[in-house]
Chains A and B, each alone.
Chain A
Amino acid sequence: MSKFKYLEDVVTLEYDQEKCVGCTMCTIVCPHEVFRMEAKKAFLLARNLCMECGACMRNCPAGAITVEAGEGCVRGIINELLGIEGPCC
């Protein structure tokens, strides 16, 4: 089955390869194969496939990855736009 693709150039994923310690954790936890290992460092293979779940950032011991992680559900975003604290789903 072909991979689904969402909008281009919307994600906030940032990766600083300088800081990478080569633990491979980001390549393990990412459900969309956004990272790949090359020469003992991770590199960004498919940034647009990122769904901003934040698993890579959470599991990067070097703090080399940042992303505004969240669930991206309609109700949560409406709450956010209205400025109220509310559950997402």
Chain B
Amino acid sequence: MKNNQALVSLPMATPVPEGAGEFRLPSASQPFVLGTLATAVGDVPIVGGELVWQDLRGHYLVRWNVGRKSFTVEPGLYAIGEPGSDSAVLVSANYKMSFDILRQTLGGYDAWILVLDTKGINVWCAAGEGTFGTGELVDRIQASRLDEVVSHRRLIVPQLGATGVAAFEVKKYSGFAVTYGPVMVQDLPLFLANGCKATPDMRIKLFPLQERLVLVPVEIMLALKQWLPLIFVLLLVAGFFGEGTFLQAMLVHGLPPTLAVLVGIVAGTIVTPLLLPWIPGRAFSCKGALCGLFLFGLLYTFSGAFVMDSSLYLRFACLLITLAISSWLGMAFTGSSTYTSLNGVRKEMLLAMPGQFVTILTGLGLWATSLWLG
């Protein structure tokens, strides 16, 4: 029953939608365009394989979740090097990071890049959402008059795009045959040298330390956005209702739970992703909570400033706050991981969320009690 519903709920590929597919080439006035290449259909923008500091600055900022929404390139057909009618066509997303890394990898090659309109989202996520999909691909082929630019009928689509693209339907609606490229763009040169054949290794998505590390800044930023309001409220409440002057009360009663929240954030967004393979357990909420416990214990043991001289109520309150937040943020990392499934995450959330909710409420309640008792 469930499976049937799933089939229906997935947007199925359609022939080119009405009004779409009107001829359009990307603008040559985009900063990374080096010039234009005259083709049968008009002047196609040429891009190079070199990234300049403005590109790298943009990459750095989006890693910190800054300017993410507008980090796009215009969809359509681009040339890299001096491609001809028999050159390969590689399909990409209009997230500038994806596009930049592709052109950097293809530096020195002569090829076409067909950029789909994925609303600035990377290939894999966009494929999951359906924007990197059969419909958009078929539409973009037509809108770029690709059949007039190249004489062959082959496309190289990133393997992770297969979630949204049905190769047999693309063939049916556009005449172009899809070859799925490697998972990682870094493997493209070898793939191309092999005559567009991927080795088994190229087909597997791993999740190495470096890939987990680059995700950390965005996780931190999202977590801060979520939890800074609580810190603000904790400090205010402590200042107003604690004993002594506002500042004294804020420091004595507000600082411990603030540190507890921050420890939870560090455990959930930095420690959990980095130590992922070595943390016991499979559920991310458990991994997060374990990291929270570990970090809390470390700080408790080695830091005199950290709730050392506070009441038992307060210490326990802080522990609960840290555990709940680290568990929650660890669980949120499933969204960035490369191997968790929808139904797995759903199951985990239904089991973990009540616990996280009760834990943080108890923690905050105990904290309020300690505040009340002075």
The chain A residues found within 8 Å of chain B, CB to CB, are: 1-8, 10-12, 14, 25, 28-33, 49-55, 57-59, 61, 66-78, 88-89
- Per-residue A-contact encoding for B135-166, CB less than 8 Å = 1, 0 else: 00000000000000000000000011011111
> How far is it, in angstroms, between the C-alpha of A59 and the C-alpha of B348 when the chains are bound?
29
From A30, A31, A32, A66, contact of B3 by CB (8 A):
A66
Contact B159 A29 (CB under 8 A): yes
18 sample A-B contacts, Cβ–Cβ < 8 Å, listed by A number = A1-B208, A7-B344, A10-B341, A31-B203, A31-B338, A32-B339, A33-B204, A51-B340, A53-B127, A58-B163, A58-B165, A66-B6, A69-B128, A70-B128, A71-B129, A74-B331, A74-B335, A77-B349
Asked if B2 lies at the interface with its beta carbon under 8 angstroms from chain A, I say yes
CB distance from A6 to the nearest CB of B (A): 5
- Per-residue A-contact encoding for B1-18, CB less than 8 Å = 1, 0 else: 011111100100000000
> How far is it, in angstroms, between the C-alpha of A59 and the C-alpha of B134 when the chains are bound?
11
Residues of chain B lying within 8 A (CB to CB) of residue A57: 7, 10
Beyond contacts A12-B2, A12-B3: 11 other A-B pairs, Cβ-Cβ < 8 A, are A4-B207, A10-B344, A11-B343, A51-B338, A58-B162, A59-B162, A59-B165, A67-B6, A71-B335, A72-B346, A73-B332
> How far is it, in angstroms, between the C-alpha of A73 and the C-alpha of B340 when the chains are bound?
9
> How far is it, in angstroms, between the C-alpha of A61 and the C-alpha of B282 when the chains are bound?
34
Residue ID in chain B nearest A4 by CB atoms: B339
Chain B facing A: main interface SS: helix
Which 5 pairs of residues, A with B, have the shortest CB-CB distance?
A73-B335, A31-B205, A29-B162, A70-B342, A72-B342
Known: A58-B166, A68-B6. A89 touches B125 (CB 8 A): yes
Contact B338 A74 (CB under 8 A): no
Residues of chain B lying within 8 A (CB to CB) of residue A2: 277
Residue ID in chain A nearest B6 by CB atoms: A68
> How far is it, in angstroms, between the C-alpha of A59 and the C-alpha of B157 when the chains are bound?
13
Contact B128 A71 (CB under 8 A): yes
Known: A67-B6, A69-B163. A7 touches B347 (CB 8 A): yes
Contact A74 B129 (CB under 8 A): no
Asked if B177 lies at the interface with its beta carbon under 8 angstroms from chain A, I say no
CB distance from A14 to the nearest CB of B (A): 6
Contact B203 A72 (CB under 8 A): no
Residues of chain A lying within 8 A (CB to CB) of residue B167: 25, 59
Residues of chain A lying within 8 A (CB to CB) of residue B180: 28-29
Asked if B168 lies at the interface with its beta carbon under 8 angstroms from chain A, I say yes
Asked if B25 lies at the interface with its beta carbon under 8 angstroms from chain A, I say no
Residues of chain B lying within 8 A (CB to CB) of residue A32: 204-205, 339
Residues of chain A lying within 8 A (CB to CB) of residue B276: 4
